[in-house]
Amino acid sequence: MFTDCDFALDTLVRKMKKPGLGCIVSFIGIVRAGNAIKGMEIAMDEKKVKTELESRKREALAKFEIESVEIVHRKGSLDVGDSIVAILVGAGHRKDAFRACEYLIDVLRVSESIRMKELK
């Protein structure tokens, strides 16, 4: 999912919780200050991003022993401190959930469908 608006981690976690899960691992990417950065502009081809996010979810579900994945990515103009992306992975046990979450952020960082530009 992609959005112009901020998201609340607790809402995402509540939506993902179910009795069979032993853990939910999350990653939140944030616009950081430094090197005169005042914010970030995120542009994307929404159709390509939707397809890519669904594909990455399926890959993670097949590659790791996990039960659910949720990815939310912001678009538009963001300020320092704003959330950029949330990745949540639900599993019976934490080890594969952590590995899947790391895998997902690594593949998203190199996505050509999402273009991020630091604003100075």
Q: Where are the domains of the chain?
A: 2-119
φ, ψ (nearest 5 deg) of residue 91: -155, 170
- pLDDT confidence band for 81 (50 / 70 / 90): very high
Task: Give the pLDDT of residue 88.
Answer: 97
The third-level CATH classification (topology) of the domain covering 2-119 is: Aldehyde Oxidoreductase; domain 3 (3.90.1170)
Q: Are 45 and 113 in contact (CB under 8 A)?
A: yes
* Mean pLDDT, residues 39-56: 91
Angle at 10 between CA 9 and CA 13, to 5 degrees: 85
